[in-house]
């Protein structure tokens, strides 16, 4: 594998999950593979899980790891070409990227949507520049439109817990005070479609996702109807995608919070969320603390997903 930015890079999903479960049984079986190889992780945005799980995965493979938080201690970076750099930005991404490539063998990039210009976000300008100019295999640690390491971990978690071959998986919008990207729901829908699960997406009117990600999913505006018979409830907030409200918060309606009463409509569903989660906005204390909550095993599987991805990138060096 030469890069990892979406489900399209991972190939056969059954094979990928089998590889993940094999690594989970003994995560130290490939410690020689990363010897004298360096991973550089670049963060334009905050992280807890991605940073720790990806570093742990790299250590399991015997890699050396370097982390750069672009906003802490590095020069402020200009990203637009053609700008007269007489402001506060001391360095251009077009020099910074190839320089970073000099010091490592594999690069992970986290760069969220800015939510001001849909075209810029959906072209994945930052991630694409890393792919083009770093000279190294690049993987996404959540980019503007997708979070494939999260979705891969979600898929592994569902495969471990499902009770029927083709479970009903419900992606539900839930309220949040701030405007968040569509990366997690886009990517989740993309992977669930690829896995051919029975996927239902529920959200208030105005929160329709890009149809390219919705794919074969059914959209149900009545959250209670969507929950009926569900095997997995996957909660997430996102901001509006549709014009003219791209990136805006249209609702903070706590009638959409996932609570015990709504979970009772499901087929004893498991509750999932990528974390970080706002309790009693997205989900009640009771549901996230219940025995059906998978948020911790899901986060644990981030290490496994990252290890499969790094292993495949190393094998192709």
Point out which residues bind ligand CP (CB under 6 A).
47-50, 142, 150, 274-276
Q: Sketch the per residue contact string, 139 through 158, with ligand AN0: x for CB under 6 A, - otherwise.
A: ---x----------------
Residue the block writes with tokens 């963060």: 43
**Whether the bond into 276 is cis, omega within 30 of 0:** yes
Are 172 and 133 in contact, with CB atoms under 8 Å apart? Answer: no
Please identify, using beta-carbon distances, which residue of 40 and 133 lies nearer to ligand CP: 40
Count of chain residues binding ligand AN0 (CB under 6 A): 8
Contact partner, 48, from ligand CP, ligand AN0, none, Cβ < 5-8 Å per class? ligand CP
Residue 179: CB atoms within 10 A of its CB come to 16
Report 29-88 residues binding ligand AN0 (CB under 6 A).
Answer: none
Q: What's phi and psi for 199, nearest 5 deg?
A: -105, 125
Q: How far is the CB of 65 from ligand AN0 (least distance, A)?
A: 20
Indicate the residue whose CB is closest to ligand CP.
50
Give whole-number Cα distances, 262 to 100, 148, 225, 287, in Å.
48, 28, 10, 10
Q: What's phi and psi for 70, nearest 5 deg?
A: -55, -35
Please identify, using beta-carbon distances, which residue of 180 and 263 lies nearer to ligand AN0: 180
Residue 171 interacts with ligand AN0 (CB under 6 A): yes or no: no
Q: How far is the CB of 284 from ligand AN0 (least distance, A)?
A: 18
Give whole-number Cα distances, 215 to 6, 42, 74, 102, 151, in Å.
15, 31, 40, 39, 16
Residue 184 interacts with ligand AN0 (CB under 6 A): yes or no: yes
Please identify, using beta-carbon distances, which residue of 140 and 284 lies nearer to ligand CP: 140
Q: How far is the CB of 50 from ligand CP (least distance, A)?
A: 3
Q: How far is the CB of 6 from ligand AN0 (least distance, A)?
A: 15
Report 250-309 residues binding ligand AN0 (CB under 6 A).
Answer: 274, 276
Give whole-number Cα distances, 88 to 53, 75, 82, 91, in Å.
33, 9, 16, 9
Q: How far is the CB of 237 from ligand AN0 (least distance, A)?
A: 7
Distance from C-alpha of 29 to C-alpha of 51, rounded to nearest angstrom: 22
Residue 183 interacts with ligand AN0 (CB under 6 A): yes or no: yes
Report 97-136 residues binding ligand AN0 (CB under 6 A).
Answer: 112
Are 42 and 107 in contact, with CB atoms under 8 Å apart? Answer: yes
Q: How far is the CB of 142 from ligand CP (least distance, A)?
A: 6
DSSP state for residue 176 in the 8-state scheme: -
Residue the block writes with tokens 């409200």: 245
The footprint of ligand AN0 (CB under 6 A) covers 112, 142, 180-181, 183-184, 274, 276
């Amino acid at each position: 594998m030469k890069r990892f930015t979406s489900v399209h890079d991972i190939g056969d999903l059954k094979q990928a999950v089998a590889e993940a479960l094999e690594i989970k049984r003994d995560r130290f079986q490939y410690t020689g593979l990363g010897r004298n190889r360096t991973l550089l992780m670049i963060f334009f945005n905050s992280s807890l899980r991605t940073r720790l799980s990806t570093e742990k995965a790299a250590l399991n493979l015997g890699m050396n790891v370097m982390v750069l938080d672009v906003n802490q201690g590095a020069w402020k970076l200009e990203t637009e070409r053609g700008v007269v750099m007489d402001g506060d930005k001391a360095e251009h991404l077009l020099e910074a990227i190839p320089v970073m490539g000099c010091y490592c063998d594999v690069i992970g990039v986290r760069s969220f949507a800015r939510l001001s210009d849909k075209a810029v976000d959906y072209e994945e300008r930052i991630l694409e520049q890393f792919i083009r100019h770093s000279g190294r295999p690049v993987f996404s640690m959540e980019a503007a439109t997708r979070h494939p390491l999260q979705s891969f971990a979600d898929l592994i978690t569902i495969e471990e817990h499902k009770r029927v071959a083709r479970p009903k998986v419900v992606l539900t919008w839930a309220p949040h005070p701030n405007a968040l990207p569509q990366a997690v729901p886009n990517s989740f829908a993309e992977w669930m479609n690829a896995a051919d699960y029975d996927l239902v997406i529920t959200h208030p009117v105005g929160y329709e996702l890009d149809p390219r990600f919705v794919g074969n999913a059914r959209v149900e505006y009545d959250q209670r109807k969507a929950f009926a018979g569900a095997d997995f409830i996957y909660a997430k907030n996102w901001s509006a995608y549709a014009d003219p409200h791209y990136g805006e918060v249209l609702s903070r309606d706590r009638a959409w919070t996932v609570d015990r009463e709504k979970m009772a409509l499901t087929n004893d569903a498991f509750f999932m969320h990528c974390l970080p989660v706002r309790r009693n906005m997205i989900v009640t204390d009771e549901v996230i603390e219940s025995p059906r909550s998978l948020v911790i095993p899901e986060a644990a599987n981030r290490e496994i997903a990252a290890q499969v991805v790094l292993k495949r990138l190393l094998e192709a060096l």
